[in-house]
């Protein structure tokens, strides 16, 4: 049976990120590993002054890189951790920020030319993730682009993890097959799929899955 949203899991993640916002910023502002995929996102959006929604912006690391590549982008960046949003504002005075749950995309009642969710999916269940893809597809303008990144592994391995700070939070793993199926079911065409390997703090190897799809 598909697992439904449990508020304590979200509260757990928000609490950890709010508490460790500055440490997270110091560790993850350099996103060079993902430059090529973000470059492709920027290249696929031909419209000038395009409206971009970023979900789960953290300290604004992705926001900053996008604006470096495309200063014309009009970015609305959202997050549920107030301390993360405060740092993101400091790092990106040219963007607009809003405290928002990533599962409430449709509440914005606004179309976008691009939507970016960089590592939001590890904190969304499979059901929530497929709903997010559906909501994003409905929110994108024709020709719009969706960018998703997550940790790839067997969904059954999802569970409580201890972060590098020693805090516990619930993390979900996702699988490419059902993400691609959700794209197809919502009229999104795959543009690019990449996997990037990197060492985790516990000595294991993590596989990052990055997907771009167009409407």
- Residue 49's CATH number: 3.40.50.150
In a domain, 134, yes or no: yes
CB-based contact 155:129 (threshold 8 Å) = no
| Strand duo 189-199 + 51-55: pairing | unpaired
In a domain, 2, yes or no: no
In a domain, 210, yes or no: yes
In a domain, 1, yes or no: no
Q: How confident is the model at residue 13 (pLDDT cuts 50, 70, 90)?
A: confident
Tell me what pLDDT residue 96 has.
Answer: 98
Q: What is the pLDDT of residues 160-179, one digit of tens each?
A: 988 777 888 899 999 999 99
In a domain, 24, yes or no: yes
Q: By residue range, what is the domain housing residue 143? A: 7-214
Is the confidence at residue 64, as pLDDT, over 90?
A: yes
pTM reported for the whole predicted model: 0.92
Number of domains comprising the chain: 1
How many CB atoms are closer than 10 A to CB 39? 14
What is the share, in percent, of the chain residues with pLDDT greater than 90? 77
Is the confidence at residue 3, as pLDDT, over 50?
A: no
Alpha helix (H) ranges present in the chain?
7-19, 21-28, 35-44, 61-69, 82-91, 126-139, 176-185
Is the confidence at residue 5, as pLDDT, over 60?
A: no
In a domain, 25, yes or no: yes
What does the mean pLDDT of the chain come to?
Answer: 92
């Amino acid at each position: 049976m598909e697992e439904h949203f449990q508020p304590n899991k979200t509260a757990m993640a928000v609490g950890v990120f709010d508490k460790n916002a500055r440490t997270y910023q110091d560790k993850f502002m350099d996103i060079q590993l993902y430059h090529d995929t973000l470059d492709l996102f920027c290249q696929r959006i031909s419209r000038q002054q395009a409206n971009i929604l970023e979900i789960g912006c953290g300290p604004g690391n992705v926001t900053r890189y996008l604006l470096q590549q495309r200063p014309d982008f009009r970015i609305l960046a959202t997050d549920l951790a107030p301390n993360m949003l405060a740092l993101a504002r400091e790092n990106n005075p040219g963007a607009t920020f809003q405290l928002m749950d990533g599962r409430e995309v449709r509440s914005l009642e606004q179309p976008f030319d691009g939507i970016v969710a960089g590592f939001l999916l590890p904190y969304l269940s499979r059901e929530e993730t497929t709903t997010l893809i559906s909501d994003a597809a409905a929110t994108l303008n024709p020709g719009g682009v969706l960018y998703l990144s997550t940790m790839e592994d067997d969904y059954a391995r999802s569970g409580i993890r201890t972060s590098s700070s020693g805090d516990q939070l619930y993390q979900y793993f996702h699988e490419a097959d059902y993400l691609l199926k959700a794209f197809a079911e919502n009229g999104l065409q795959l543009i690019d799929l990449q996997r990037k390997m990197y060492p985790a703090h516990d000595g294991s190897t993590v596989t990052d899955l990055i997907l771009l799809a167009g409407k």
